[in-house]
Structure formats: structure tokens, C-alpha cells
């Protein structure tokens, strides 16, 4: 067994030592430009390639020297290494050999070894898959916490979160009427408290991306004054994106929202969904007296 | 860098508390010279009970109306580190005092074990790193658990007014608090919310599960090498790690898998001992307490834990009636001991839970009626087909455990009828039946309810499948 191990180690050394020197001598910009040149021309792909190049470079700077050191040490202590591997192999062979009544049970032995090899191969496949997935994820997550990244939510949710962060007090209570489930807004806006009366018809409905499934929701006019007083909000937010609820004429009603969007996306930007935030004062309660037939106590 | 240090110290504290508790449980029955636990088992249970104990401590502290503070978290951490150091000291002293004969294994066996240890260490480190590379980003981890942990951290209490308002919590306000309270512990230590660092508990529970599994197998068999191989098999189930909804995320499915696997591991160990006249019965009785604690922690993690506990009781009852009719009273006492342990540990949680509002709760028990069940035949057949597809035809994605379990039954059909093995099979069948039943009676269409969650649910019982496989291939003379 010593000979094939020696050959493998020599090959590993031949590959890893020059590669390790190359990775350590070349600047990260070299790898980044190489990756960006090969990426799709869109902005996201180029950004992704640029960031992935950095993380690959960092991993290789650790991994390649480790492999180089291992292969060189392996060559120096080749006899000990091959003895170790031979012992391990012998142990696996002995313990995976199934005996029944003092005789070797070859069918079960083959099955057991087949299972172990299959498991090992699938494990290695998934281990490398996991590593690749983390490299793919790196551009979007880095080592940031959730509030810095606002991961896995729609761009409109992100905008509303940033808008509320900018315009409301840190400990504000915000009453929200919306045709979306707003856990993520609530999660990232803490310590602000968002109160969102959920329509019973939406309770067990799983939302889909881009409002493909319209949820039932309360409008502000559906809520009665008593309910609003109980929540005692500092602000009231109306936020609708679904086709059944948007009111095109009111897209630009909230000037601060419009200003916020235009600061982010340019002066010509036109909103495509409703966001209206207003400060609430208890004296305004009478304004929310809903029509008797539609008043709802959620 | 300070954050890393605080997280490491926090983990050391949690681990220390758990090790002290586990050592206390083992020490109660270690008056005989027989070895009652393995070091790997102590380390594994240390993590499992550490996170469980931390959450229970914070729950009790919160229920009596005291607030959570930085000082409290530091005291808990300090006590944990001291308790852990004390436990390790006692352990090393006891080991020196006892006449520890060198193990009869050969040099090649020892070398293979060191290789396995290296692989396990590598898997543990890469799992921790992979977990910490992403913040909490999935639905459940933020909507159900993360949101509550931030509110509890900011208000310094579980009696927060917001958590009692259904329009604030919205989604599963009655869901258990083991995960949020552990996250709160880390937020208190850090002095701020960082939903990346708080994820450290998930890969550690994975490590705890694997180490406990290894320890119990090492203790249960003389075939130590096979114990290592099966522990590595458990550590490499792809749906647990590195699938991103497994132990790498802040979802509850990984922790439930850990607690449920540990609970069944000790019940399995108990039944093996009951079936073996020369085994140490006193140590097997202790298994029931550990199983009870772990089953209670599963209930305190996710509501599935309640179903798993009921299934465990039913399976224990069936196994008793089939195999232990001559020892009916003794077995009934054992089952009672297990159930009582669970009841005592979860009682404070159910007391608190009763005060929480109910929205979006599926209320499965009240939905169970003959009309709902009779009308669910289409859902039933869809669910069966779907589960078969997911478990067997998508094995390349979720792991070979269901194929291997089937092959293992075929390879040793007589061993599958042993009480401990039959018990595991009954648990697996019970869990799958419960999932299908939940799909039939839930208010959400079965395609969305089971279709969207079956892969996560199967994580919770994959450890049991690996344990069953180990029980099949570890030879009968043990």
C-alpha cells in the first residue's frame, strides 16, 4: 500500500505547492477580475462573482498550504502514514465482515459494505455541496447579522422597513393594515411594535412570492375606533401590494414615502403599491368610526 | 472579537451546567464498579441538558415575575463554567480511583477510532462555521422563534405585554420557548441582538446528539468500531447537515431531532437492558429519567414533541404487552417514571402557555372528527405517495436512511422483532401516521401542509432510523 500512497502524495505536492505559492503571491484583484470577466453581464451576477472570488481566494489561501504541508509531511513520514491507513482499512474490513454461526455471511457482508460506501460517497457529495452553497451565499450574507442584510424578503418589504426606521421613533407602536403577513417587518423593526390585525380568512393561508396569492385583509375603514384605541398606536401604516387592494390614485399620497423612494431610486421613480404612514393621536379616533355594517373588532 | 469570546464563554457555561446535571444523574447509580456512562455520552448530554436547563431556568425565572438582565446571564454563565470544571475534576478523580483496566482493543482499532474522532471533529467545526455564515433568514426561525427572543430580550421578561397580544405575535403565540430563551441568553451576554451568533446553539445540539448517540452505543456494545461507524453515519445524514433547513438554520426541526433522538436512544437502551438478564438493571432505570428529560425538552421546543411523547407511550405500552407481560407491574412502573419525568419538566411551560393567546394554532385534537377523517381519503393517498417519493425516490437529496432501514429489516428480520427494535419501528410508524393525520385534518391544503414541511419533519425522525439500523447490524450476542 505504501507505493500508491507515495504516488498520491507526490502528485498532491506537485499540484498544491505551486498553487499555494500562486494564491499567496497574486493579489485578490487578479482573481476578482478573472471571475467577473466570466460572469453574466447583469449587475447582480457581476457583484456575486466579485464577492465569490474573494471568499474562494480566502479559502484557497488556507486550504492549499494545509494540503501542501500535509502532502510534504506525508512523504517524509510515508511509512507511518501507510501503516496507519493499512490498519484503518484492516479494521474496517474486519468489523464489516458479518459472521453467522462461525461462518462468514458474504451476502450480508457485501450489503453492509455497500451501504457504508454509498453513505460515505453521498456524505462527501453533500459536504462539498454545502461548501459550494456557502460560497454562493457569501456575497449576500458576509458575516453580517439579519438587520444589516434584511435577508430573504421582498425588495418592497425592505423599502418599507427602511422607510419606517427612518420616519418613526424607536419605541413607536405602529398599527398596520396590510394584505401581507408582516412578521419580517416586525422582526427587523423591533423595538418598534407592529400590530397587524389578521383577517380570519388569511389565518392558515401560506403567502406566495410577488403577491401571486391574494390574502384577505382588513382596510383601515374596517377597524372601529374602540379597537384602534385599545392598540393605542403612535402611527398607522396602510401597506397594500395585492391587486384587490391597491389604489393607484393614492400611490403618491404620502409625500414622505414618495421622497424616500425618489432618494433611493431617482427623481422619476413612480411607486407601484400603496404605503401611507400617518402619525396617530387619540383625538383622531372619531375619524375612524367605520360604517355600522362594516365595523370589525379583530 | 469580544463577541466571539462572549459566545465561547456562554457556550462553556451552558455545556458546564448540562454536564453537571448529566454527571449527577449518572453518579446516582454509579456506586457499582460497572461503567455506567461513556465520556462521549457525558459530553453529548452536557450540550443537550445544557441548552434544555438554560431554557427551563429562564422560564421559571420569568414565570415568577423576575426580569432577565445582563447580570443574570453572567451569573448563569459563571455557575455553568464552575459546575463544568468541577464535574471534569470529579470525573478525572473518580477515574483515577477506579481500577481502570486498559481496553482490550487492538492498535489498529485505536488508530481507526482516532481517524473517526478526527472526522467527527472536522464535521463539528465545519457545521458551526457554516451555521454562523448566515443570519436567521427563514420563515419559522424569524416569525415563530426569533421575534419572540428579541421581544423577551428587550422587555426582559416572558410576561411581555406584546407577547400576549395576538395582533403583535400573530403566528403561533403558544409555541414553546426553548429556542427563544436560549437565544435570549446569548443576547443578554452580548448586550445586543445578533441573530447570527445566537444560532450557535443549533450546530451544538447536532454535536450533542451525535456524541450522546456514540456514547450510548459504546456503552451498549462491545463492538466499539461499529458504534463509531454508526455515529458517523448519524453525523452525515444530508438532511440534517448540510441542508440549510437542518441544523444549519434556526428552525426547530434540528433541535427536535436532537431531543427526540436522545429520548428514544435511552428508551431503546432501557428496553435492550430489560431484554438482557445479565445487564445492569439499575443503570437502565436511570435511562428512563434521561429519556423523560429529553422528551420533555422536545415538547418545550416544538409542538410535535407532544405527538412524539404520546407515540412513545403507546409504543412502550405495545412492547410491554407483547414482550413483558410477566413483568407487567415493573414495566408499568417504568413507563410511569418516564411519563412523570416528562410531566414535571413541562408543567411550568403548560402553566405559562395557558395564559398566551391562540391564533394560527391548528388545534389538531379538536379538529379530529369522523367527518374530517372520512372526507380526507384523497389527502391520505396523496400524503402516502408524497412521503414514499420523498423518503425513497429523493434519497440522493435527503439521505439513504430510509433505504438502509428497509435493507436492514430484510437482512435481519428476526432482530427487527426484538423489543428495542420493534419499539423504534413503532415510533417511526407512529410519527409518519401522525404526520399524515395532521395533513388530513389541518385547515391548510395537504399539498401545502405536508408538501412544504415533510422534508423538515423527516429530519426529526431520521436519527431514529439510523439508531434502528445500528441496532440491526450490531450483533446479537450484545
Nearest to A176 by CA among A58, A298, A75, A283: A298
Cβ distance A264 to A159 under 8 Å?
yes
If you ran DSSP here, which 8-state letter would residue A296 be given?
B
- The DSSP annotation for A232-290 comes to --SEEEEEE-STTT--GGGTT--HHHHHHHHHHH-TT----SEEEEEE--GGGGGGG--
Beta-carbon separation of B108 and A90 below 8 A = yes
Q: Which of A166-170, A218-222, B35-39 is predicted least confidently?
A: B35-39
Average pLDDT over residues A33-62: 93
Q: What is the pLDDT of residue A293?
A: 45
Nearest CA in chain A to B143: A183
Residue A290 has pLDDT above 70, yes or no: no
- Strand-pairing partners, residue A177, are A238
pLDDT of residue B21: 95
Distances (CA, A) of B135 to B248, B268, B319, B385: 10, 36, 44, 35
d(CA A90, CA A126): 27
Percent share of chain A, pLDDT over 90: 66
Q: With 70 as the cut, is the pLDDT of residue A285 above it?
A: no
* Secondary structure (3-state) at A294: coil
Pairing state of beta strands A235-240 and A274-279? Answer: antiparallel
Report CA torsion sign: B134, B139, B143, B148.
negative
Concatenated DSSP letters of A126-193: HHHHHHHHHHHHHHHHTT--HHHH-TTS-HHHHHHHHHHHHHS-TT-EEEEEESS--HHHHHHHTTSE
Between vectors from CA A186 to CA B156 and to CA B459, what angle results, nearest 5°? 85
Nearest to A122 among B134, B248, B400 (CB): B400
pLDDT at B283 over 80: no
Which chain B residue shows the shortest CA-CA distance from A177?
Answer: B167
- Least confident stretch, A101-105, B102-106, B136-140: B102-106
Task: Write the pLDDT tens digit of every residue in B204-235.
Answer: 999 999 999 999 999 999 899 999 999 999 99
Contact between residue B164 and residue A192 where contact means Cβ atoms under 8 Å apart: no
Q: Which residues face A277 on adjacent strands?
A: A237
User: Which cell numbers hold the place of B96?
Assistant: 483515577
Which residues of chain B from 167 to 186 reach within 8 Å of chain A, CB to CB?
A: 167-168, 170-171
CA A280 – CA A282 distance, rounded (Å): 7
User: What does the angle CA B114 – CA B120 – CA B123 come to, to the nearest 5 degrees?
Assistant: 145
User: For the residues B7-36, what does the mean pLDDT come to?
Assistant: 83
**Residue A146 and residue B135: Cβ atoms within 8 Å?**
yes
* DSSP code per residue over B375-441: TTHHHHHHHHHHHHIIIIITHHHH-SHHHHHHHHHHH-TTGGGSHHHHHHHHHHHHHHHHHHHHHHH
Give the closest-approach CA distance of A266 to chain B in angstroms.
Answer: 29
Q: Give dist(CA B163, CA A186) in Å, integer.
A: 12
Q: Are B430 and B419 in contact (CB under 8 A)?
A: no
Interface with A, mutate which of B1, B4, B107, B111 (most A CBs under 10 A): B111
- Tell me whether B192 touches chain A (CB under 8 Å): no
* CB atoms closer than 10 angstroms to residue B125: 12
Tell me the mean pLDDT in the region B419-448.
Answer: 92
pTM of the complete model: 0.93
Query: With contact defined as beta carbons under 8 Å apart, do B242 and B248 qualify?
Result: yes
Select from A262, A256, A251 the least CA-distant residue to A164: A256
The mean-pLDDT minimum among A251-255, B319-323, B372-376 falls in B372-376
pLDDT tens by residue, B449-465:
898 899 999 999 999 99
Task: Give the best residue of B163, B242, B448 to mutate against chain A (max A CB count within 10 A).
Answer: B242
According to the model, what pLDDT value does residue A225 have? Answer: 87
- Look at residue A33 and tell me whether its pLDDT is greater than 80: yes
> Do A215 and A205 meet the contact criterion of CB atoms below 8 Å apart?
yes
d(CA B247, CA B126) in angstroms, rounded, equals 12
Q: What percent of chain A has pLDDT over 70?
A: 95
State mean pLDDT over B173-196.
95
Question: What average pLDDT is seen over chain B?
Answer: 91
What DSSP string runs through A52-115?
HHHHHHHHHHHHHHHHHHHHHHHHHTHHHHHHHHHHHHHHHHHHT--EETTEE-HHHHHHHHHH
Task: Fill in the DSSP letter of residue B451.
Answer: T
Cis check for the bond before B242: say yes or no (omega within 30 of 0).
yes
Q: How confident is the model at residue B35 (pLDDT cuts 50, 70, 90)?
A: low
| Cα B12 versus chain centre, distance | 20
Question: In this structure, what C-alpha cell is assigned to residue B26?
Answer: 449518572
Q: Which residue has the higher pLDDT, A281 or B427?
A: B427
SS3 A223: strand
Binary contact (A193, B244; C-beta < 8 A): no
pLDDT score recorded for residue B95: 77
Residue A29: all three cell numbers together: 484583484
pLDDT of residue A1: 67
Q: Which residues of B touch A136 (CB under 8 A)?
A: none
pLDDT, tens digit, for every residue of A164-209? 999 999 999 999 999 988 888 889 998 999 999 988 887 777 777 7
- With a CB cutoff of 8 Å and minimum separation 6, the contacts of B396 are A122
Average pLDDT score over residue span B166-173: 83
The answer to whether residue B154 neighbours chain A at the CB level (below 8 Å) is: yes
- Residue B104: pLDDT band (50, 70, 90) is low
The yes-or-no verdict on residue B412 having pLDDT over 80 is yes
pLDDT of residue A291: 45
User: In this model, does residue B365 exceed pLDDT 70?
Assistant: no
Burial of B27 (0-12, 13-18, 19+ CB in 10 A): middle
- For residue B458, the model assigns a pLDDT of 97
Whole-angstrom distance, CA of residue B188 vs CA of residue B156 = 9
Give the three cell numbers for residue B50.
445544557
Gap from A247 CA to chain B (nearest CA, Å): 25
pLDDT at B142 > cutoff 90: yes
Q: How high does pLDDT run on average in chain A? A: 89
Yes or no: say if B146 and A125 are a contact pair by the CB < 8 Å rule. Answer: no
The contacts of residue A22 (CB under 8 Å, 6+ apart) are: none
pLDDT at A99: 86
Ranges of each domain in chain A: 2-145, 148-288
Among candidates B111, B154, B359 on the partner chain, residue whose Cβ is nearest the Cβ of A190: B154
- How far is the CA of B393 from the CAs of A116, B386, B388, B399, in angstroms? 19, 10, 7, 10
Percentage with pLDDT > 90 across chain B: 76
Helix B178-190 × helix B70-97 angle, to 10°: 100
Report the distance separating Cα B13 and Cα B185, nearest Å: 11
Q: For residues A276 and A252, what is the distance between their CA atoms, to the nearest angstrom?
A: 9
Residue of B nearest to A88 (CA): B112
Amino acid at each position: 500500500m505504501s507505493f500508491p500512497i507515495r504516488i498520491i502524495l507526490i502528485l498532491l505536492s506537485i499540484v498544491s505547492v505551486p498553487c499555494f505559492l500562486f494564491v499567496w503571491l497574486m493579489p485578490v484583484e487578479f482573481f476578482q477580475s478573472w471571475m467577473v470577466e466570466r460572469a453574466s453581464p447583469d449587475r447582480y451576477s457581476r457583484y456575486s462573482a466579485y464577492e465569490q472570488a474573494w471568499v474562494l481566494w480566502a479559502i484557497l489561501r488556507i486550504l492549499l498550504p494545509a494540503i501542501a504541508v500535509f502532502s510534504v509531511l506525508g512523504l517524509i513520514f510515508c511509512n507511518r502514514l501507510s501503516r496507519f491507513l493499512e490498519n484503518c482499512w484492516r479494521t474496517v474490513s474486519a468489523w464489516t465482515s458479518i459472521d453467522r454461526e462461525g461462518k462468514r455471511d458474504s451476502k450480508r457482508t457485501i450489503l453492509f459494505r455497500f451501504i457504508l460506501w454509498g453513505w460515505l460517497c453521498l456524505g462527501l457529495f453533500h459536504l462539498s455541496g454545502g461548501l459550494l452553497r456557502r460560497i454562493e451565499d457569501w456575497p449576500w450574507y458576509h458575516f453580517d447579522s439579519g438587520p444589516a442584510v434584511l435577508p430573504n424578503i421582498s425588495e418592497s418589504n425592505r423599502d418599507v422597513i427602511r422607510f419606517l426606521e427612518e420616519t418613526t421613533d424607536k419605541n413607536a407602536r405602529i398599527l398596520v393594515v396590510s394584505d401581507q403577513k408582516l412578521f419580517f417587518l416586525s422582526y427587523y423593526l423591533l423595538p418598534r411594535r407592529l400590530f397587524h390585525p389578521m383577517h380570519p380568512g388569511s389565518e392558515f393561508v401560506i403567502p406566495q412570492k410577488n403577491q401571486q396569492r391574494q390574502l384577505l385583509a382588513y382596510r383601515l375603514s374596517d377597524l372601529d375606533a374602540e379597537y384602534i384605541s385599545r392598540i393605542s398606536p403612535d402611527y398607522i401604516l396602510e401597506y397594500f401590494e395585492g391587486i384587490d387592494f391597491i389604489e393607484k390614485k393614492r400611490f403618491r399620497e404620502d409625500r414622505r414615502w414618495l421622497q424616500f423612494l425618489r432618494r433611493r431610486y431617482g427623481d422619476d421613480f413612480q411607486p407601484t403599491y400603496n404605503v401611507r404612514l400617518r402619525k396617530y393621536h387619540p383625538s383622531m379616533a372619531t375619524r375612524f368610526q367605520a360604517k355600522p355594517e362594516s365595523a370589525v373588532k379583530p | 472579537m469580544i463577541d466571539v469570546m462572549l459566545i465561547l464563554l456562554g457556550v462553556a457555561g451552558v455545556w458546564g451546567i448540562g454536564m453537571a446535571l448529566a454527571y449527577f444523574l449518572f453518579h446516582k447509580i454509579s456506586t457499582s464498579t460497572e461503567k455506567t456512562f461513556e465520556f462521549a455520552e457525558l459530553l453529548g448530554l452536557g450540550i443537550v441538558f445544557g441548552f434544555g436547563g438554560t431554557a427551563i431556568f429562564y422560564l421559571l425565572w420569568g414565570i415568577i415575575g423576575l426580569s432577565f438582565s445582563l447580570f443574570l446571564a453572567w451569573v448563569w454563565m459563571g455557575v455553568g463554567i464552575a459546575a463544568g470544571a468541577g464535574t471534569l475534576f470529579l470525573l478525572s478523580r473518580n477515574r483515577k480511583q477506579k481500577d481502570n483496566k486498559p481496553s482490550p482493543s487492538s492498535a489498529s482499532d485505536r488508530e481507526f477510532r482516532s481517524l473517526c474522532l478526527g472526522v467527527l471533529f472536522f464535521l463539528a467545526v465545519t457545521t458551526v462555521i457554516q451555521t454562523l455564515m448566515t443570519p436567521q433568514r427563514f420563515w419559522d426561525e424569524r416569525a415563530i422563534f426569533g421575534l419572540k427572543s428579541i421581544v423577551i430580550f428587550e422587555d426582559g421578561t416572558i410576561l411581555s405585554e406584546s407577547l400576549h397580544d395576538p395582533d403583535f405575535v400573530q403566528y403561533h403565540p403558544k409555541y414553546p420557548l426553548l429556542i427563544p430563551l436560549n437565544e435570549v441568553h446569548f443576547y443578554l451576554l452580548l448586550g445586543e441582538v445578533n441573530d447570527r451568533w445566537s444560532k450557535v446553539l443549533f450546530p451544538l445540539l447536532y454535536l450533542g446528539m451525535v456524541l450522546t448517540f456514540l456514547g450510548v452505543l459504546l456503552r451498549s456494545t462491545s463492538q466499539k468500531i461499529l458504534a463509531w461507524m454508526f455515529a458517523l453515519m448519524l453525523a452525515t445524514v444530508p438532511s440534517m447537515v448540510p441542508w440549510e433547513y437542518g441544523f444549519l438554520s434556526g428552525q426547530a426541526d434540528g433541535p427536535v431531532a436532537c431531543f427526540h433522538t436522545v429520548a428514544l436512544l435511552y428508551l431503546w437502551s432501557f428496553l435492550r437492558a430489560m431484554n438482557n438478564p445479565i445487564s445492569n438493571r439499575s443503570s437502565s432505570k436511570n435511562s428512563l429519567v434521561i429519556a423523560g428529560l429529553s422528551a420533555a425538552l422536545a415538547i418545550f421546543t416544538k409542538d410535535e414533541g407532544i405527538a412524539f411523547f404520546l407515540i412513545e407511550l403507546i409504543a412502550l405500552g405495545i412492547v410491554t404487552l407483547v414482550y413483558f407481560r410477566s413483568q407487567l407491574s415493573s414495566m408499568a412502573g417504568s413507563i410511569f417514571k418516564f411519563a412523570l419525568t416528562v410531566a414535571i419538566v413541562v408543567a411550568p411551560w403548560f402553566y405559562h402557555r395557558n395564559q398566551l393567546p391562540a391564533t394560527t394554532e391548528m388545534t389538531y385534537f379538536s379538529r379530529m372528527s369522523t367527518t374530517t377523517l372520512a372526507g380526507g381519503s384523497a389527502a391520505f393517498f396523496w400524503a402516502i405517495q408524497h412521503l414514499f417519493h420523498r423518503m425513497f425516490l429523493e434519497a440522493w437529496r435527503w439521505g439513504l436512511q430510509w433505504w438502509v432501514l428497509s435493507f436492514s429489516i430484510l437482512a435481519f428480520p428476526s432482530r427487527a422483532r426484538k423489543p428495542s427494535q420493534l419499539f423504534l419501528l413503532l415510533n417511526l410508524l407512529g410519527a409518519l401516521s401522525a404526520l399524515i393525520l395532521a395533513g388530513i385534518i389541518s385547515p391548510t391544503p395537504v399539498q401545502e401542509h405536508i408538501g412544504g414541511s415533510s422534508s423538515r419533519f423527516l429530519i426529526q425522525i431520521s436519527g431514529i432510523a439510523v439508531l434502528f439500523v445500528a441496532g440491526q447490524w450490531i450483533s446479537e450476542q450484545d
